[in-house]
């Protein structure tokens, strides 16, 4: 057994064990997924409490319940998520750590909710004195999405009319790229232009990529073999199954989920420190 790699044990059936950092012991959790993986401590490796990852269906079900039963509004949720994303960015890439003279950030926004979250994230980054630029190839006709777009324009956040295919231009102009293109509801087998082209470009950039919720192009439930390789993943509400083996910096952002939902879906969310709305997993 190679000591460089973490040891995985698959449990069949209903009983799973999960190592709890805080309790410093194994605890039993209920588990529906027979192939749920548990990582044992291996010498020299960082212990990670995997928690229960969401499937595409669970993520969608939770959101439906939040809107329908808990009467949250989409605008409200997107604002919560976008601000939490921005805070995650400031943690992963503090202003003082940025290599370039100007604290530039490229935010690539899709047409749907993931894109709206990117727009709110960009707006908050501007308040935190970063210099975001938005690339927004497909504007949604949805009025909520348009509102978020106007809010960014009115914050003097510049917008690119096209994304350079010359990757060096991107590497030179920005410190990092925020991928807010496709969310967990996207059909990754059927991605329409211009996103495949953008993803090709992103696979070649040398600057770090931070993905919002799900790396664009990845299947929600499977880690990607040949997709983009973000340095940072900001999971919203709860991490998705594709993130189980994510090896980069992984944040859980957004601290608003009612306890009843947490219990119902057995999310076992970690304790957020103090009044923070995000935690590094």
The reply to whether 22 sits near a copy of itself by the rule CB under 8 A is no
- Minimum CB separation of residue 220 from a copy of itself in Å reads 26
The reply to whether 127 sits near a copy of itself by the rule CB under 8 A is yes
**x/- map, 63-82, a copy of itself, by CB under 8 A:** ------xxxxx-xx--xx--
Residue 50 or residue 277: which is nearer to a copy of itself going by CB?
Answer: 277
Residue 47 or residue 75: which is nearer to a copy of itself going by CB?
Answer: 75
Which positions from 227 through 256 interact with a copy of itself, judged by CB under 8 A? 255-256
The reply to whether 104 sits near a copy of itself by the rule CB under 8 A is no
The reply to whether 8 sits near a copy of itself by the rule CB under 8 A is no
Q: Which of 18, 20, 90, 159 binds a copy of itself (CB under 8 A)?
A: 90
The reply to whether 193 sits near a copy of itself by the rule CB under 8 A is no
Quick one: three-class SS letters along the chain? CCCCCCEEEECCCCEEEEEECCCCEEEEEECCCCCCEEEECCCCCCCCCCCCCECHHHHHHHHHHHHHCCCCCHHHHHHHHHHHHHHHHHHHCCHHHCCCCCCEEEEEECCCHHHHHHHHHHHHHHHCCCEEEEECCCCCCCHHHHHHHHHHHCCCCCEECCCCCCHHHHHHHCCEEEEECCCCCCCCCCCCCCHHHHHHHHCCCCCCEEEECCCCCCCCCCCCCCCCCCCEEEEECCCEHHHCCCCCEEEEECCCCCHHHHHHCCCCCCCCCCCCCEEEC
- Minimum CB separation of residue 146 from a copy of itself in Å reads 7
Binding site for a copy of itself (CB under 8 A): 69-73, 75-76, 79-80, 86-87, 90, 123-124, 127-129, 144, 146-148, 150-151, 154-156, 255-256, 258-260, 274-275
């Amino acid at each position: 057994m190679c000591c460089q790699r973490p040891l995985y044990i698959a449990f069949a059936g209903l009983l799973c064990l999960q190592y709890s950092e805080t309790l410093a012991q194994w605890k039993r959790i209920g588990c529906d997924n027979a192939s749920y993986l548990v990582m044992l401590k291996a010498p020299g490796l960082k212990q990670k409490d995997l928690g229960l990852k969401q499937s595409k269906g669970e993520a969608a079900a939770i959101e439906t319940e939040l809107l329908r039963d808990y009467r949250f509004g989409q605008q409200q949720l997107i604002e919560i998520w976008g601000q939490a994303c921005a805070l995650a960015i400031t943690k992963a890439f503090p202003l003082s750590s940025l290599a370039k003279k100007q604290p530039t950030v490229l935010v690539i926004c899709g047409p749907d909710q993931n894109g709206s979250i990117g727009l709110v994230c960009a707006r908050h980054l501007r308040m935190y004195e970063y210099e975001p630029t938005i690339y927004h190839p497909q504007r949604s006709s949805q009025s909520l999405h348009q509102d978020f777009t106007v809010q960014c324009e009115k914050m003097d956040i510049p917008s690119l009319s096209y994304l350079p295919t010359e990757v060096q231009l991107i590497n030179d102009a920005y410190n990092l790229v925020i991928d807010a293109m496709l969310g967990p509801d996207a059909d990754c087998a059927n991605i329409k232009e211009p996103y495949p082209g953008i993803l090709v470009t992103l696979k070649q950039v040398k600057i770090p990529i931070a993905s919002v919720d799900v790396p664009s192009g990845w299947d929600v439930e499977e880690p990607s073999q040949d997709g983009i390789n973000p340095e940072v993943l900001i999971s919203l509400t709860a991490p998705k199954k594709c993130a189980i083996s994510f090896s980069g910096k992984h944040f859980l952002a957004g601290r608003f989920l009612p306890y009843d939902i947490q219990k119902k879906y057995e999310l076992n969310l970690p304790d957020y420190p103090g009044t923070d709305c995000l935690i590094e997993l």
